[in-house]
Structure 1
Amino acid sequence: MSRLHLAQSTWAQGLELSGGDYGVVAVVAVVALAALAVGYFLLREVLAAGQGSSKMQEIAVAVQEGATAYLSRQFRTLGVFVALVFLLLFALPAEDANERIGRSLFFVIGAAFSAAIGYLGMWLSTRANLRVAAAAGEPGGREKATRIAFRTGGVVGMTTIGLGLLGAAVVVMVYAGQAPKVLEGFGFGAALLAMFMRVGGGIFTKAADVGADLVGKVEQNIPEDDPRNAATIADNVGDNVGDCAGMAADLFESYAVTLVAALILGTAAFGTHGLLFPLIVPAIGVLTAVVGVYTTKARQGENGLRAINRAFYLSAAISAVLSVIAAFVYLPSTFAELTGGENTTEGNPALIAAAAVLIGIVLAGVILWLTGRFTGTEHRPVRDVGRSSRTGAATVILSGISVGFESAVYTALVIGAAVYGAFLLSGSITVALFAVALAGTGLLTTVGVIVAMDTFGPVSDNAQGIAEMAGDSDPEAARILTDLDAVGNTTKAITKGIAIATAVLAATALFGSYTDAIQTALAGIAGVVTFDLSGFLVFNPGLLVGLVIGAAVVFMFSGLAVNAVSRAAGAVVMEVRSQFRNNPGIMDGTVRPQYGRVVDICTKDSLRELATPGLLAVFAPIAVGFGLGVGPLAGYLAGAIGAGTLMAVFLANSGGAWDNAKKLVEDGHHGGKGSDAHAATVIGDTVGDPFKDTAGPAINPLLKVMNLVAVLIAPAVVTLSVGDGASPVARALIALASVTIIVVAVVISKRRSTAIGEEAPEETRDPANTTA
């Protein structure tokens, strides 16, 4: 029977930091605080911009109130869940009380940071959208609007990297050698809350968007953001709670979890140097993010996407140069210098680290180019989708699906090449996995700009909506905002592609953490000193079953998210139809729609739908781990990563292609607004909405949540599987309880009414007529 010893390297045991090491961590913490300071100055700049007409301000206030009300209710709901998980984490095995307390405490801190960044993204975007709309109507409007929208994202980006780096630095400073285990809790808290915010916000925004489009554009033949449509305020609220709050939290957890994987494996591979170098690389990213944000300036008449891409590539190039210098300055040239003894591993640690970081930076650039190719309005894939609108909605949907499938293949191959390229940098499995994690930290150097790119999208979309609802923007300003919205669709798709790349890199690296957790648990059991690999062989039926289950969970999760949007959107459609039918004065402008009723529907439905996907993500790996063992659980993670990568990219890019094909038609191609081709692309866009903004982005935190759950439960699975503490009955009961929870949640979810075909109630509470 094949066995392999995967314990941590000897110098990682009982790791202690020297005075110089603490100095490095302190510098990193100062850099993190500097990032927060830069974010504050960007915030002041954004808020100092003009706010437009009183009508624009009135609409913006309604959006602000609706978004704040939704997130407040969501956080109250999630607070109970966080408290329960805190207690479960406290009950899991740990080396000592210090580790157990730290892991649970920083789980709460990670969740709180994720929530704070999500709230900041919502709060600022609901104020910046107004300012972007106003700037578009001023002299030099394109350049001003682009700058305000991007620097709004810069605030969120600097806060994301500042809090992520600060949290990791504080943990390392306080817990030293135990930092990797404590950081598992930090990353898990960030990932879990981000997943919930992504799912809930995605359901809210796409239910409102789909409902508004189907009734407004298709049935009533009125513009997307026409104030006569009762779903318009909810649609604008959704952009902020889904795209801004949800994605900001998502990218923060990507940042945190990638750091967790790098620090865990770095400690095992390079000792103290491996614990600190993964902090140095993203600290460099803080400096280059500042360069990227401040150099994003659209030249006269220049497309906004070109300006954003130029700043991204500039910041990535600077990161690459500085990271290579840092690797050769900080890391020694031989492993003997790391261990203080024999040169037990071949290779140059500095060269390995530099090459790995470069792989991650190049990966970000390639994904940016590749995603832009498949979702940009100037490229053939989107133009082909637009041309297909001349023959109806069916061909639009088919062409968009084909774009998504094709782009998923290329993106998966690029990510796979990066992972394998990093893995080949060393013959040692531990060092090779650390190289994969370092590729992730290399990608992290671009996160500040990536978050800015992502926030740019919904802010531009909202700005266009506010201007259209206010009805007082000139044609040139409207054209500028339409162009910025199309650019935002592409930047959002790009950030989703990069986010899934971080998920794959982090998840692959966490395999090393997973096996290390198993080995450490085995080492504590008398008579067991090696790790049985037979359950990890690909032809083992248990592993294959786990792999299939892992892939199936991705499909189930995606189906639940899309179905939740379908149900909520059905309720919105019936409500908006009812208002048009029962209040004829809405169409002629003499009666104001009851916006608050739609906001309330979206709020209630999205919060109600949160539980099932979340329970599936947490309890599915628990069921597999305790029910089938650690080998099948590894297969489960592999299946989830493989299927999740392809599914996430397919959903994001097909949705982005449909959305921008609609923009092409609305710009006058193939008959323009009001034509049959326009109606066909609207249908395609409504199909793509839950793809690109609900199910697709939520897969990213899903993968991280499931991987971290596996790492956290691995010691408990081992303890109940071998030695004196083995208890097949206890394992079976835990697995059965987990399966029962999942089944009950899914059954309850499936029994909910679709609301399609049911009339909206005649009397519904509408306290403010503008908010929930």
Structure 2
Amino acid sequence: MGNDLTFFQVVSIVISALAFVTAFWLYRWVSSQPSSNKKIAEVGKLIQNGANTFLAKEYKTLVRFCSVVALLILVFLPSPIWKGNIVDNISMVASYILGTVLSAIAGKIGISIATIANMKSAEAATKGIKPSFMAGYRGGAVMGMAVVGSSLLGVTLVLMLTGNTTVLLGFSFGASSLALFAKAGGGIFTKTADVSADLAGKVELGIPEDDPRNPAVIADNVGDNVGDVAGMGADLFDSNVASMAAALVMAASLSNSEKNMGMVLCYAAIGLLASIIGVFTANMKEGADPTRALNMNTYVTTAIYGVLTAVATYIFDFNWRIWGASAIGLIVGVIIGIATDYFTNDNKKPVKMVAKACESGPAFTITSGVSYGLVSTLPAMIGIGVSALAAYKLVAPLGAGGNEVAYGMYGISMAAVGMLSIVGMIISNDAYGPIVDNARGLVEMGDLGDKALEITDSLDSAGNTVKAITKGFSIGAAGLTVIALLGAFITEVNDAIVALGLNVEKVTGFDVTNPTVFFGLLVGAAIPPVFSAMLMLGVDRNAQRMIAEIHRQFREIAGLKEGKEGVKPEYDKCIEIATVGALKELIPAGLMAIISTLLVGLIGGVHAVGGFITGNIVSGLIFALFMSNSGGLWDNTKKYIEAGNHGGKNSKAHKAGVVGDTVGDPFKDTAGPSINTQITVVSLVASIAATLFLTISIF
């Protein structure tokens, strides 16, 4: 490999190491914050133990699944072991395992810091909003630095050691397959507990959200960590790796490939550097708005990235058109975030209109929330479409003379790299949400007073709003990434045609009037709704079991309902129900998506798979955006009413708002964010099995 690429590989490794040093410093800073309240330490320990127990059991289940997949990859991919080069198959399986391991480590790091930061943030709330905010934010930033550092390091090492971009897709598939199950399993766990705690506590008994009498309350707090921290970390690790892998696969197939590949690594490394700078500039003044502080930090990081990449483009003589594609992706990512904020922020019209509808009962809560959720898909879909079109048109002329399509698709992949460039900051903001949500619960359970509760309520509300924005951002990024992966699939198919010496035309696109393509398109479009239904039915079945357990405890444990001194619920029983149910439900949905892809490919070949990926992308993005935004809107509607609007807590509107939030919970935290991982997994399975579909298909 040339000096250009080697230089950028070394730079990527150095900046990854800097991210790990930053994560370590932040971890030490958060751990050193004062905490002395015994009640908070006791409850915090229960949350920590529950989260670690679930993660250990989940990873044991996933080790078995990943071992079977690794064996299948060894035998069949990138081509059957008896036909191809055994070294390629071994490289593919090794990179797959590395992808799963790094993804799992990212989740574990997130859990370990989040369950410390929640206690620190809770106790800091007694001193004021600024120290509480900083403990929560820096806790989330540990996750951001660790996830992006390990994804950039993993991609760079695989490329350096193998020099094979197809093997990179194996690494990406490892990250995606673990992320799919971590997000689905964590999502089922967290929403089982959340729905059960809300329905049995708030609606039936009229007790506060984090009342320690509620047997599901610890499971609910555990769920915030395993779903919104570990699951989300694995999800964004996967998106970041997939965007880099897709860009590198396409860059390798173009003229001047080393310079184009160096550009991918350079921009990704600068994005991580910008996030590191952004984390250290994050601050908020006492009495300021935490939502504004979080958003301002994102804008600052975006500006730093834009300036540094422009400087790098000038210094290293990169092509300005490709820089433009990257800038388009980043700007559209921010715009999608702002559009999501409009539909989910409790200061904006949609939330206020749904809160008003709550006065007329839960039926109107649901219909209005669903309607706004559906409308909210349009700006983001237009944004993804415009950014893909603009990036394609901007970069395609570089391939003048017959290679316009390849360069245009490379432009889209660079827009995805641009959109995900500040993912370190996005993860920091996202992980902040569950940390301060837990802190709010600890303040209530530790009786730290109304002032501390008011502060953590304010931080929690900001976390919800920003979390909705980051979900919109990550879905938009996943959209661009999978369009880039469609380009990577075409590249892999054409490379396989040349390598195998097949007498067939190279693929340049997919004609929807071709019945084989249309067959794949229809099947691919049907997968996201079925996948979502399987996950939400898992939450439904599990929550019914947990509600029955809560009723049993209130019925059988004397003095629990009245809150007698020394009477405690059996928290571990609810944690056990959520854990067992989540692990039972998480594998079937993921397997359904993977097996469907393989079946379509073996039935209709590469053209059917091209249609399948396209249908899956369009349907998946709409479902993901709709469910994430509806869920975020209902959650903030409930909080808006609890702040004293439309009758406040325990009013008719409040009970309707809780019902809406209960419907929205599996929408926004189980099915919605899992779909973008499902789309990525499907696209990667198609790419790494391209040779298989070329040589074995019925039609």
TM superposition score normalised by structure 2? 0.96
Amino acid at match of 1:106: S
What is the rounded CA distance, in whole Å, between the counterparts of 2:507 and 2:655 in structure 1? 59
Amino acid at match of 2:155: A
Q: For residues 127-176 of structure 1, give each alpha carbon's deviation from its aligned partner in whole angstroms, at most 9, with x where no partner exists.
A: 110111001111xx111111111111111111111111111111222222
CA separation of 1:93/1:245 partners in 2, compared to 1, >3 Å: closer, same or farther? Answer: closer
Deviation at residue 716 of structure 1 after TM alignment: 0.8
Equivalence for 1:90: 74
What is the rounded CA distance, in whole Å, between the counterparts of 1:594 and 1:68 in structure 2? 18
1:634-653 aligned at under 5 Å gives the runs 634-653=610-629
Equivalence for 1:704: 680
8 Å contact from structure 1 (residues 111, 193) kept in 2: yes
What is the rounded CA distance, in whole Å, between the counterparts of 2:276 and 2:498 in structure 1? 46
Match of 1:514 among 489, 513, 535: 489
Match of 1:600 among 542, 551, 576: 576
Q: For residues 170-199 of structure 1, give each alpha carbon's deviation from its aligned partner in whole angstroms, at most 9, with x where no partner exists.
A: 1222222x1x11111110000110010000
8 Å contact from structure 2 (residues 173, 684) kept in 1: yes
Equivalence for 2:630: 654
Equivalence for 1:281: 267
Equivalence for 1:318: 304
8 Å contact from structure 2 (residues 8, 265) kept in 1: no
Amino acid at match of 1:477: A
Amino acid at match of 2:312: A
Larger Rg: 1
Deviation at residue 309 of structure 1 after TM alignment: 0.7
Deviation at residue 330 of structure 1 after TM alignment: 2.0
What is the rounded CA distance, in whole Å, between the counterparts of 2:142 and 2:689 in structure 1? 36
Q: Does 1:397 align with 2:382?
A: no
Equivalence for 2:253: 268
Equivalence for 1:758: none
Deviation at residue 524 of structure 1 after TM alignment: 3.2
8 Å contact from structure 2 (residues 494, 507) kept in 1: no
Match of 1:124 among 113, 130, 142: 113
Amino acid at match of 1:160: V
What is the rounded CA distance, in whole Å, between the counterparts of 2:260 and 2:90 in structure 1? 24
What is the rounded CA distance, in whole Å, between the counterparts of 2:236 and 2:8 in structure 1? 25
Q: For residues 185-214 of structure 1, give each alpha carbon's deviation from its aligned partner in whole angstroms, at most 9, with x where no partner exists.
A: 110000110010000000000000000000
Q: For residues 489-530 of structure 1, give each alpha carbon's deviation from its aligned partner in whole angstroms, at most 9, with x where no partner exists.
A: 111111111111121111111112211222222223445153
Deviation at residue 531 of structure 1 after TM alignment: 2.2
What is the rounded CA distance, in whole Å, between the counterparts of 1:21 and 1:655 in structure 2? 44
Match of 1:668 among 644, 655, 661: 644
Q: For residues 572-630 of structure 1, give each alpha carbon's deviation from its aligned partner in whole angstroms, at most 9, with x where no partner exists.
A: 11110111122241012232111111110000000000111111121110010001221
What is the rounded CA distance, in whole Å, between the counterparts of 2:372 and 2:278 in structure 1? 30
Equivalence for 2:181: 196
Amino acid at match of 1:77: T
Equivalence for 1:345: none
Seq. identity, %: 39
Q: For residues 535-577 of structure 1, give each alpha carbon's deviation from its aligned partner in whole angstroms, at most 9, with x where no partner exists.
A: 9311112211211111111110000011110111111111101
Match of 2:539 among 552, 559, 565: 565
Please give the secondary structure, in 2, of the residue aligned with 1:524. Answer: helix
Equivalence for 1:148: 135
Deviation at residue 367 of structure 1 after TM alignment: 1.7
Q: Does 1:582 align with 2:556?
A: yes
1:16-31 aligned at under 5 Å gives the runs 17-31=1-15
Q: Does 1:679 align with 2:655?
A: yes
Deviation at residue 300 of structure 1 after TM alignment: 2.8
What is the rounded CA distance, in whole Å, between the counterparts of 1:368 and 1:521 in structure 2? 39
1:38-77 aligned at under 5 Å gives the runs 38-77=22-61
Match of 1:237 among 208, 218, 222: 222
What is the rounded CA distance, in whole Å, between the counterparts of 2:317 and 2:382 in structure 1? 31
Deviation at residue 52 of structure 1 after TM alignment: 4.2
Farther off after superposition, 492-501 or 604-613: 492-501
What is the rounded CA distance, in whole Å, between the counterparts of 2:548 and 2:504 in structure 1? 63
Amino acid at match of 2:519: V
Q: Does 1:81 align with 2:49?
A: no
8 Å contact from structure 2 (residues 605, 696) kept in 1: no
Equivalence for 2:434: 458
Amino acid at match of 2:477: T
CA separation of 1:526/1:359 partners in 2, compared to 1, >3 Å: closer, same or farther? Answer: closer
Match of 2:498 among 519, 523, 532: 523
Please give the secondary structure, in 2, of the residue aligned with 1:424. Answer: helix
Q: For residues 244-276 of structure 1, give each alpha carbon's deviation from its aligned partner in whole angstroms, at most 9, with x where no partner exists.
A: 100011111111111100111111224101221
What is the rounded CA distance, in whole Å, between the counterparts of 1:575 and 1:354 in structure 2? 56
Amino acid at match of 1:626: L
Farther off after superposition, 230-239 or 711-720: 711-720
Amino acid at match of 1:243: D
Q: Does 1:406 align with 2:375?
A: yes
CA separation of 1:165/1:67 partners in 2, compared to 1, >3 Å: closer, same or farther? Answer: same
Q: Does 1:299 align with 2:285?
A: yes
What is the rounded CA distance, in whole Å, between the counterparts of 2:510 and 2:281 in structure 1? 49
What is the rounded CA distance, in whole Å, between the counterparts of 1:168 and 1:252 in structure 2? 11
Amino acid at match of 1:282: A
Deviation at residue 325 of structure 1 after TM alignment: 2.1
Query: Aligned-residue CA RMSD in angstroms?
Result: 1.4
Equivalence for 2:345: 376
CA separation of 1:585/1:253 partners in 2, compared to 1, >3 Å: closer, same or farther? Answer: same
Please give the secondary structure, in 1, of the residue aligned with 2:210. Answer: coil
Equivalence for 1:32: 16
What is the rounded CA distance, in whole Å, between the counterparts of 2:28 and 2:501 in structure 1? 61
What is the rounded CA distance, in whole Å, between the counterparts of 2:105 and 2:354 in structure 1? 39
What is the rounded CA distance, in whole Å, between the counterparts of 2:635 and 2:331 in structure 1? 28
1:691-770 aligned at under 5 Å gives the runs 691-721=667-697, 728=698
Q: For residues 25-77 of structure 1, give each alpha carbon's deviation from its aligned partner in whole angstroms, at most 9, with x where no partner exists.
A: 11211111111111110111111112241001100000000110000000000
Match of 2:194 among 209, 221, 226: 209
Equivalence for 1:619: 595
Please give the secondary structure, in 2, of the residue aligned with 1:588. Answer: coil
CA separation of 1:500/1:372 partners in 2, compared to 1, >3 Å: closer, same or farther? Answer: same
Match of 1:165 among 141, 149, 152: 152
What is the rounded CA distance, in whole Å, between the counterparts of 1:442 and 1:49 in structure 2? 35
CA separation of 1:642/1:532 partners in 2, compared to 1, >3 Å: closer, same or farther? Answer: closer
Deviation at residue 97 of structure 1 after TM alignment: 3.2
Amino acid at match of 1:187: S
What is the rounded CA distance, in whole Å, between the counterparts of 1:597 and 1:529 in structure 2? 60
CA separation of 1:96/1:695 partners in 2, compared to 1, >3 Å: closer, same or farther? Answer: same
TM superposition score normalised by structure 1? 0.87
Q: For residues 11-36 of structure 1, give each alpha carbon's deviation from its aligned partner in whole angstroms, at most 9, with x where no partner exists.
A: xxxxxx12453233112111111111
What is the rounded CA distance, in whole Å, between the counterparts of 1:617 and 1:174 in structure 2? 31
CA separation of 1:20/1:274 partners in 2, compared to 1, >3 Å: closer, same or farther? Answer: closer
Amino acid at match of 1:600: E
Deviation at residue 673 of structure 1 after TM alignment: 0.8
What is the rounded CA distance, in whole Å, between the counterparts of 1:403 and 1:528 in structure 2? 51
What is the rounded CA distance, in whole Å, between the counterparts of 1:526 and 1:458 in structure 2? 53
Equivalence for 2:401: none
Match of 1:258 among 234, 239, 243: 243
Please give the secondary structure, in 2, of the residue aligned with 1:87. Answer: helix
Deviation at residue 99 of structure 1 after TM alignment: 2.6
Please give the secondary structure, in 1, of the residue aligned with 2:253. Answer: helix
8 Å contact from structure 1 (residues 265, 274) kept in 2: no
Aligned residues: 684
